[in-house]
Structure 1
Amino acid sequence: MAAHSGSKTVIYAALAGNFLIAATKFVAAFFTGSSAMLSEGVHSLVDTGNGGLLLFGMHRAARPADRTHPFGHGRELYFWSFIVALLVFALGAGVSFYEGVIHILEPEPIRNVSVTYIVLGLSMLFEGFSWFVALKEFRITKGRLGYIEAVRLSKDPSVFTVLFEDSAALLGLGIAFAGIVASQIFEMPELDGVASIGIAVILGLTAIFLARESKGLLMGEAALPEMQEAILGIAQADPAIRGANGVITVHLGPNQIVAALSLEFEDHASAPDIEACVIRLETTVRTELPEVVALFVKPQTPATWQERRAALAD
């Protein structure tokens, strides 16, 4: 629950910042005629909508299990994260690219350029604050892992989605600033359109990366090795179990894991002994590892387990 609380703080900060930035950029684009500024306004508007979709996904994912979804609705967050990536690509990158091409084919000088610089400065300030909040939360969740590795292993897309969107926004602002300055220095308004295309490329690459990560989560990723080792350790400590062969896990949500244990029980263990052991395992795992929402146990010899794992690897 603490992770979700932190995620919501990041998203609320991004929502407030992006809404104010989008309104400011659209007003500036209207008064200046800047293509890059209009592209940045669309970008911030898309980011605002994306924050709302992530909050909606978190709300839907928190619903309890029911008859049609016996393991809960955790993957709804992954679905809406994938939709966010598509929107960044289709709306953010698509509109920016279109605006860039139009302003290259039909260039118009930027009016009231001083207004543009003021808006860019304010946008960088607001966006920087949102980015700092997201980075601070991500540093807490990533631990000792590197940034890229932490994103690849993360099971909660809400924080790194906002972080990457804000990073793309800051890069886009830098490109917009460079394009506007260059168009003024060289008296080539086409460069403003080129900046819009540059923004589109940044957004497109960001969207592809986010879509790739969300796709992996939607398909079902295994729990981190530390979690798997903790489950095996609990099983191995039970006196009725001779050996814990292995465990298969899958994330249904950031804090929802289904685990299947392969165990070899002691030869003298009777059916009631095995049943009591399974109950003990479920109780201990539920207490020590509340993320595990379902635990399945399969009695197997080590040889049988290895054969099944080898078949899966092939």
Structure 2
Amino acid sequence: MSASGGTKAIVAALAANLAIAVAKFVAFLFSGSSSMLAESVHSVADSGNQGLLLLGGKKAQREATPQHPFGYGRERYIYAFLVSIVLFTVGGMFAIYEGYEKIHDPHPIEAWYWPVGVLVFAIIAESFSFRTAIRESNEIRGKLSWTQFVKRAKAPELPVVLLEDLGALVGLVLALGGVGLALLTGNGVWDGIGTLCIGVLLIAIAIVLAAETKSLLLGEAAGVEEVEKIKAAAVDGTVVTRVIHMRTLHLGPEELLVAAKIAVEGNDTATEVADAINAAEARIREAVPIARVIYLEPDIYRPEAAE
């Protein structure tokens, strides 16, 4: 993922959520709708999440140090994981609590035009943010389905923003449905039910985000296509005859560690092997530019010992 594409989607989502949060709070104050309060907190949580993603991207750019020789690329994964926690606690749990309270103590919605008008405005604004995230994702998604893209993306920002925007749009529809039914029936319980649904939705999205970012935090290998490119680039057919075994690990979204044992001929000189390793590293970096840290160990190929 290009960092600029991810940043553009985050900034678009942040601007939309800040404007929507203010409008929702105003609508809540005039109407007393619990759905509007839950949606207000949801937008504030989303705004905070976008701030976390921007902060993580900034911190990940720091230079490597002796204590962190591979750099700080995984900062982006840590902050993406924090997003899932914020979405679960601040957004989801608060909405469930507020919905429970409204169902047990229902009261009619006042000044109905405020929540309805703000929700329509929020749907329009959120749609523009979602459209930006979709457009930026399409530039790198290729032939992957949306589910595959969310699961396989090594850069966390776009999947996070996509799921947040999707959750926001569905949540707005639920809030509009809850407010609408409360107005039509004169029963505020429907507003509480809509709020509960928003809470369940946010918790579900938070769980998905937590699972995906946890996998990235633990360390994921390069994709199948990248692995094949690296293996092909390492072999020159003269000195380096094959890759005996290889391990890859993402140090960050755009930084890959490659460690491989390569087969060389037993009669090659040390100089020939060293030159071949340097050439192999250059070919690998050309084939897969994110392969920044490469360790190649020469060995004699023995079929019975190969992993």
TM-score where L is the length of structure 1? 0.94
- Determine the structure 2 residue equivalent to 1:81: 80
1:53-68 equivalent positions in 2, closer than 5 A: 53-68=52-67
Residue 231 of structure 1, CA deviation: 1.0
- Determine the structure 2 residue equivalent to 1:23: 22
1:91-130 equivalent positions in 2, closer than 5 A: 91-130=90-129
Amino acid at match of 1:303: P
Matched residue pairs, number? 306
Asked if 1:158 corresponds to 2:145, the answer is no
Which shows bigger deviation, 99-108 or 42-51? 99-108
Task: Give the SS at the match of 1:276.
Answer: helix
- Determine the structure 2 residue equivalent to 1:271: 270
Q: What are the superposed Cα offsets for residues 264-286 of structure 1, whole Å, 9 maximum, x if unpaired? A: 10222122221121122223333
Task: Give the SS at the match of 2:196.
Answer: helix
Asked if 1:253 corresponds to 2:252, the answer is yes
Task: Give the SS at the match of 1:25.
Answer: helix
Q: What are the superposed Cα offsets for residues 43-98 of structure 1, whole Å, 9 maximum, x if unpaired? A: 01100010010000011111121111111110000000000000000100011111
User: Percent identity at matched positions?
Assistant: 36
C-alpha change, 1:196 and 1:233, in structure 2 (3 Å) is same
Q: Quick check: 1:71–1:293 contact (8 Å CA) kept in 2?
A: no
Q: Quick check: 1:22–1:41 contact (8 Å CA) kept in 2?
A: yes
Q: What are the superposed Cα offsets for residues 246-273 of structure 1, whole Å, 9 maximum, x if unpaired? A: 3210111110100111211022212222
Query: Which blocks of at least 5 consecutive residues in structure 1 are unaligned?
Result: 308-314
Q: CA RMSD in A?
A: 1.3
1:182-197 equivalent positions in 2, closer than 5 A: 182-197=181-196
- Determine the structure 1 residue equivalent to 2:172: 173
Q: What are the superposed Cα offsets for residues 116-141 of structure 1, whole Å, 9 maximum, x if unpaired? A: 11101100000000000001111111
Residue 235 of structure 1, CA deviation: 1.1
C-alpha change, 1:21 and 1:104, in structure 2 (3 Å) is same
Query: Which blocks of at least 5 consecutive residues in structure 2 are unaligned?
Result: none
- Determine the structure 2 residue equivalent to 1:219: 218
Measured in 2, the distance between the counterparts of 1:14 and 1:118 equals 20
Task: Give the SS at the match of 1:303.
Answer: coil
